[in-house]
Amino acid sequence: MTNTRGQWGSRLGFILAAAGSAVGLGNLWKFPYKAGINGGGAFVIIYIAVLFLVGFSLMIAEIAIGRKTQLNALGAYRAINKNWGFAGAIGILAGFIILSFYAVIGGWVIKYLFDSVSGSLFKINAVDYGGHFGSFISSAGSPLFYQALFMVLTLVIVLGGVSSGIEKASKIMMPALFFMMIVLMIRSVTLPGAIEGVKFLFKPDFGKAFTPKVIVDAMGQVFFSLSLGMGCMITYGSYLPRNTNIPFSGTMILILDSFVALLAGLVILPAVFSFGFEPGAGPGLMFITIPAIFSKMAFGNIFAIIFFLLVLFAALTSSISLLEVCVSYVVDEFKKNRIISSVILSIIIFLLGIPSSLANGAWSDFKILGYNFFDFMDMFASNILLPLGGLLLCIFVGWVWKTKNAVHEIQNEGSLKFSIAPLWSFIIKFISPIIIIVIFLTNFGIIKL
Ligand code: PHE
């Protein structure tokens, strides 16, 4: 059989692309504000616990399914067991939904980048950034324009294909991102009074942390941040050659992702404290507090450009993976042309994102279960679909495909040592599903913690 599917050009290329998928708005926008509203260090501790217990095992499992079957998320499940295509379908649906609202925020980032470059972001009085942001996101036209622009950038990269589009873009954007983050982190932690922000991130306030909502949020955040539970790593794994070291690659992706989340905390929170702002400002942290801080900082205009450029890079290396999950499904399953499929999917996803954008303005009164459309999409995909996808993944690998077959794949059919295989199998079969179920039940109030 001739393989016409794409393939990564190198192991480093795969790691950077997969880490690029993981590192995104989840790390830079969500993590610092979630830590901010959920008790700082306590949230971080729960996050890291779920990350290592559940995240690590699932990451390896997803990559293994992808490499074994060399298929998209749905096709991969079905190739191993013909009744399990639905698990992949849930994932693809999640990807579709996530990209629809992800592009809205991606658009805001482009707008703030443009305004930093033109300097108009600094013509605002520091106290007015909230109003400025509010009036921008609640207007109808402009956010949609930037959302469309973000989708176009995503599409252009995906059109380039796996190795010359996604891999190449990640190889440029990821190192640039690390470099820019380190520059900003050094600036932030050397500001007067910055130490309070560092303390906030590492010193837990347990009173706030052990509430069901915080724990569910931390779990949702792990899935979202690692791009797990929706077949993204299955899809990226399907472009791997047979001889890659999956445990090593998985570990690198996990380390890079957590490193960037903490680094983001260290860029944002010390500056927030140094300038006397509120860490629990919520989603507006990146668009209200941060610009206000840059407006007061020496050379703030340059730091703002670096900041929004790095956020844009992070967002794009993630959005391309979200689009790729959908594209790969349509191309594999329906044998459709990659270019046409990518264009059509991008248009549909853009249209689905419109209500999310309008939820911040004209349609803000439209509520589903008390959430506006944007927050509902985020909550539904991140806190329900992704953990559900993760749960199905554990059951599938643990009990349907069977861990011994999965381990055989992870060990490259015997040529690679995977010394923690028994532990990994135990976590996949028992620990991870139990953690996910308990957190779910707690969230729905069925168990009280
Ligand atoms: N991990 C990405 C982020 O942190 C978002 C994402 C989720 C990407 C799921 C792909 C799949 O921003």
pLDDT digits (tens, 9 = 90+) for 91-146: 999 999 999 999 999 999 999 999 999 999 988 887 788 889 999 999 989 999 99
Q: Which amino acid is at 427?
A: I
Residue 22 beta carbon below 6 angstroms from any ligand 1 atom: yes
The pLDDT of residue 209 is: 60
Residue 24 beta carbon below 6 angstroms from any ligand 1 atom: yes
The pLDDT of residue 2 is: 38
Is residue 34 within 8 Å of residue 43, measured between CB atoms? yes
pLDDT digits (tens, 9 = 90+) for 410-419: 999 888 888 8
Nearest residue to 130 (alpha-carbon basis) of 357, 353, 292: 292
Substitution candidate for ligand 1 out of 166, 225, 313, 327 with most atoms within 8 A of CB:
225
Cα 126 from Cα 104, distance rounded (Å): 25
One-character DSSP codes across 163-213: IIIIIHHHHHHHHHHHHHHHHHHHHHHTSTTTHHHHHHHHSB-HHHHSSHH
Shortest-distance atom of ligand 1 to CA 27: 4
CA of 334 to the centre of ligand 1 (A): 25
Averaged pLDDT score across all residues of the chain: 90
CA of 14 to the centre of ligand 1 (A): 16
Residue 116 beta carbon below 6 angstroms from any ligand 1 atom: no
pLDDT for residue 303 is more than 60: yes
Kindly list the domain boundaries of the chain, sorted by start residue.
13-56+89-225+248-385
- Structure tokens that stand for 375 in this block: 């927050």
Residue 318 beta carbon below 6 angstroms from any ligand 1 atom: yes
Is residue 433 within 8 Å of residue 269, measured between CB atoms? no
The total number of residues written for the chain in this structure: 449
CA of 96 to the centre of ligand 1 (A): 12
Residue 319 beta carbon below 6 angstroms from any ligand 1 atom: no
pLDDT digits (tens, 9 = 90+) for 193-228: 999 988 888 887 776 667 777 787 788 889 899 999
Cα 244 from Cα 64, distance rounded (Å): 10
Among protein residues, the one with the nearest Cα to ligand 1's atom 11 is 227
Residue 260 beta carbon below 6 angstroms from any ligand 1 atom: no
Q: Give this prediction's pTM.
A: 0.93
Nearest residue to 231 (alpha-carbon basis) of 351, 102, 69, 82: 69
Shortest-distance atom of ligand 1 to CA 229: 9
CA of 223 to the centre of ligand 1 (A): 8
The pLDDT of residue 50 is: 87
pLDDT for residue 32 is more than 60: yes
Among protein residues, the one with the nearest Cα to ligand 1's atom 7 is 227
CA separation (Å) from 325 to 75, 145, 162, 185, 332?
11, 24, 12, 33, 11
Residue 101 beta carbon below 6 angstroms from any ligand 1 atom: no
Residue 185 beta carbon below 6 angstroms from any ligand 1 atom: no
pLDDT digits (tens, 9 = 90+) for 111-125: 999 999 999 998 888
